[in-house]
Amino acid sequence: MSGACEDTKVSTTKILVADEISKSGIELLKGEGYEVDVKTGMKEDELSSVIGGYDVLIVRSATKATGKVIRASKLKVIGRAGIGIDNIDVPAATERGILVMNAPSGNVVSTAELTIGLIFTLARRIAEADASMRRGEWKRKELKGVQVSGKTLGIVGLGRVGAEVAKRASVLGMTVVAYDPLVSPEVGVKLHVRLVSLERLLQESDFVSIHTPLTTQTESLIGRSELSKMKKSAMLVNCARGGVVNEDALFDALSQKVIAGAALDVYMQEPPKESKLVSLPNIVLTPHLGATTIEAQEEVGSEIAEQIIAYLKRSDIRNAINLPAKLDPELMPYMPLAEKLGTMICQLGQCSAGRVEVSCKGELAQKDIRIISASVITGMLKPISEEFNVNYINAFDLAKSRGIEVVSSTSDEAGQYKNLIRVVLHANGGSISVAGTLFSDKGPRMVEINDSMVDIEPEGNFILIGHEDRPGMIGSVGTILGDNDVNIASMEVARRQPRGPAMMILHIDEGLTPEVLEKVRAIPSLKSATYIRL
């Protein structure tokens, strides 16, 4: 998976930790020999001025990895010690070929527990009672609450945290409904959750808990109209992301008793400045404490450190945010082959392309092959691009910017092969094709070039010669190479019929100078000669 990252020398890899993470995470990174600097509290300008000296940036929620910061960098990875990535300009990172990864598992339980805690705080009016006691009051009758047992909890977003909240709520005797268009009914059954529309959830629930990321689709997902659909006795909890709940609409709903109460751990602006919400008695506010437990901080710090080490050392990618498709373990062995096919066809086409077709045949047809197509484009663009870091993170964007159309297709039929990847390049009024597969005993092989059957290990230096199959051709080529001290490691000739069009494939031990290549091209009856380096 050479397209994933460049060869990284451990001794020179520099990592900037811009927010506090656990000491165990930092020690893991240092233990691998990486140079780790911890500099917290930096604003955009300061971070932009220093980021150019680092290969990796680790943040939590405080530091903003803005487009300005990213464009000033030569980063390979941005790691988020936690789940949310709204403080990272992911499109800017993708454009630069920077992998963005998060650590979604470490703070799941802590956030779920805070959610349940806030539900109890609202139900039993714990915060109000505490404040009252500190004022020397004794308001037992005035602070009457409600039980959570027997109530309906509506969960908006049934991801990792939402699922953990659902498990705990069920144990508390609550009925759980959920809205998540990306979750299958089978998941709902497994969690003992009834999947419903958002409107129905709002109408039925006594408590509504938000567990969805902040995206263009979810911004102000809970606004004035949605709040008006809730029960007057209902209470809202948001431990996900500020902005999913419209704070102006929430202020009006609480002050006008449209709903009974709310609890927020996240805000549209953090920390919230001069928020009207602090004046309300029926809201509980906490300072983004979802992941702020000893256990969660240890977990996310170690988790992101382990992921970064795995990527830098082995190109092993976990919890990537900006890959074109989720990494499938069954597809990963085919990605280096796909990249080599892209490199091969780029050189055959003399790095000119208008349209590229990537077809996956056989068992691969059942997979999401976007990552294979991205690997092909990476192989094509990497040798010719002036971009800092071409890889399958930004491959599609770079192809689009160059006017290259990428078309992917699948087919169950792979002929004599279990799986086959075929790449066709259309340029200058013609087309070129290459195909490859993986053999269990031989590994990756190129098996077709322009519909001619071949068997090439895609590694090393090659000369591909198009010619008429006639006596003396092999000798003529061999003589020129021998006279110029070019050693032939192996050779094969692909042809459809004797004395017809043929392709000679020479695997040579060293590189080929342009002068020697021109001598080969001057051989009579030779149609083409292309030097390929893989």
Catalytic residues: 241, 270, 288
Helices (H), 292-433: 294-314, 335-348, 370-381, 395-401
Among 368, 378, 363, smallest CA distance to 423 is for 378
Say if CB 429 and CB 335 are below 8 A apart.
no
CA distance 107 to 395: 32
Bridge partners of 263?
237, 284
Distances in Å between the Cα of 325 and the Cα atoms of 158, 235, 341, 372, 394 are 21, 37, 20, 9, 12
Say if CB 40 and CB 19 are below 8 A apart.
yes
CA distance 530 to 450: 14
Ramachandran category for residue 103: left, alpha or beta (phi over 0 → left; psi -120 to 50 → alpha) = beta
Residue 216: strand, helix, or coil: coil
End-to-end alpha carbon distance in the chain? 14
Among 359, 356, 354, 355, smallest CA distance to 369 is for 359
CA distance 220 to 201: 17
**E-state strands within 214-327:** 235-238, 261-264, 283-285
Residue 364: strand, helix, or coil: helix
Say if CB 214 and CB 243 are below 8 A apart.
yes
Q: Which residues of 393-426 are buried (b: 16+ CB within 10 A; e: fewer)?
A: bbbbbbbeeeebebebebeeebeebebbbbbbbb
Written as six digits, the tokens of 373 are: 């197509």
Residue 421: strand, helix, or coil: strand
Distances in Å between the Cα of 265 and the Cα atoms of 2, 3, 120, 122 are 42, 40, 14, 13
